[in-house]
Structure 1
Amino acid sequence: MIPAPVVARGPLADVNPVAKLGAALLIAFPLILTVDVVSALVALVLEIPLLVAAGLGWGAFWRRTSPVWIAAPLAAVTIALYGEPSGTVHLEWLLVRVSDGSLALAAATFLRVLALALPGVVLFSTVDPTDLADGLAQRVRLPARFVLGALGGMRLVGLLVDDWRELAIARRARGVADTGRVRRLLGMAFALVVLALRRGATLATSMEARGFGGTARRTWARESRWGARERALLCAGLGISLTAIAVSVATGAWNFILGPS
């Protein structure tokens, strides 16, 4: 089920979702080109004002970002144990080899995951899918048919959970859910796919009947606004990206992952 947008009161809470998407992509750009501690740490520190300005409460922040805080240490531990060894080897056992190089790479990976994921998760916690669709169609000029179809599909994702629950109750009522757990799960999954395809076909027909597939210029019930705050957010994302690159290059830590080995 798609999480409902969080009600927040921060300065960035009601900024156009396209600006939030653009800022997250700008911040991520240098981090996908290099794996080093300096660029990731600089980006993470500079992201703190954006995270605060998003307006999430502490409870909502930790709930929404909990998968990131779980994934980052797991990725770092995996790299530390099985990464390419270099320098002094501290531990070696079977396939496990912990060295200075693998530990440095693990630290860079940990910070990189946090710097990449936290802005996107926090900024998009306050985004309504309809507002995002309006922005993508009106500001980015994506095809309205594609945007509205994707929005309709996203709105129906939550129904899959209800369908799964109803299938389980129905099978239990018929006495076919007591044995053969694997067979039962496969049968329910197939039934869920059938239900999803039927609902998708009905949705497509309904949207076509209402003119969503037309080629004429479409009007919008709500205007996707764009102003100084949106431009400032994009500039902030670009500033974080350029600063992380500059500091990493100046300190000699830049490690271009697409460069020659």
Structure 2
Amino acid sequence: MTLLETRARTGAMARINPVAKLGASALIAVPLILTLDMVSAAVALALECVLFLFAGIGWREFWVRTWPVWLAAPLTGVTIALYGEASGTVYFEWFLVHISDGSLALAGATTLRVLAIALPSVVLFITVDPTDLADGLAQTWRLPARFVLGALAGLRMVGLFVDDWRALELARRARGVADRGRIRRFLGMAFALLVLSIRRGAKLSTAMEARGFGASTRRAWARPARFGGQEWMLLLIGAVISASAIAAAVATGTWNFILGPG
């Protein structure tokens, strides 16, 4: 368990059912997916920043977890600015590259849209424990327990891949075969890791079956997944953010329903 994971579980969002976090992320994302305009994305992002203050995570952790989003959003905007649909004044044109008022407006809207959709999902799921998520999916959404517990067991094993990879690398170095061709070395280690994963999965499956995880009878849960006031409040906040973004875009006349005609 890392230091970031330990701190995340003490935050304000740690006690909320992960299913509610899934729902809130969906409520925020769906309206932004249906439109491409700067106003709705900017309003949603501004309201989300207020929500982040109550997530119970430090600024260092926030930047460490979200830096890929901050990197991907501007890169997406640059691509749209260069290759987006040209309209209005054209500032630069060469082959397929067209930089114009229209492409720059689309670039700004796309950048804000990526940030508004991705950031709340990342921040909300920083505080999600895999076991709590499995409990919520099985008890709240009534998903099959066998599928949920199998996915949880597999997710718990992901962290072992890094340790296995390092162990394989050290073993190959000890045998003097670690410096012969990077591609060949990578393929050999990947195959060895695949074999180890299959063996571990078979052993884990047998152990779970022996403990009754695959039984057809109704199972009990060690930690009940509750869905109460806090969860409904988070869903309400997500709905308010979406409604505010839509209302602002419609009021300013910038609402651009991308699935509509034309």
Q: For this structure pair, what is the TM-score category when the shorter chain's length is used for normalisation? A: over 0.9
Q: Deviations over 1:88-146 (max 9, x none)?
A: 11111233211111101110111011100111111111111101111111111111111
Counterpart AA for 1:246: A
Question: Are 1:238 and 2:239 an aligned pair?
Answer: yes
Q: Which residue matches 2:142? A: 141
Distance 2:6 2:119 in 1: 15
Distance 1:175 1:84 in 2: 55
Distance 2:247 2:142 in 1: 33
Segments of structure 1 that go 5 or more residues without pairing to the other structure are none
| TM-score (structure 1 length as normaliser) | 0.95
Q: Which residue matches 1:204? A: 205
Question: Are 1:57 and 2:58 an aligned pair?
Answer: yes
- Verify the 8 A CA contact 1:92 1:98 in the aligned structure 2: yes
The percent identity for this pair of structures is 69
Q: Which residue matches 2:7? A: 7
Shift of 1:10: 4.4
What SS class does the counterpart of residue 93 from structure 2 fall into? strand
Question: What are the within-5 Å matches in structure 2 for residues 147-226 of structure 1?
Answer: 147-226=148-227
Counterpart AA for 2:7: V
Shift of 1:50: 1.5
Distance 1:162 1:2 in 2: 14
Cα pair distance change 1:158/1:2, threshold 3 Å: farther
Shift of 1:226: 2.0
Shift of 1:6: 5.0
Counterpart AA for 1:204: S
What SS class does the counterpart of residue 92 from structure 1 fall into? strand
Counterpart AA for 2:105: A
Shift of 1:47: 1.1
Counterpart AA for 2:5: P
* Alignment RMSD (CA, Å): 1.7
Q: Which residue matches 1:92? A: 93
148-157 vs 15-24, which moves further? 15-24
What SS class does the counterpart of residue 78 from structure 2 fall into? helix
Q: Which residue matches 2:38? A: 37
Aligned residues: 261
Counterpart AA for 1:64: R
Segments of structure 2 that go 5 or more residues without pairing to the other structure are none
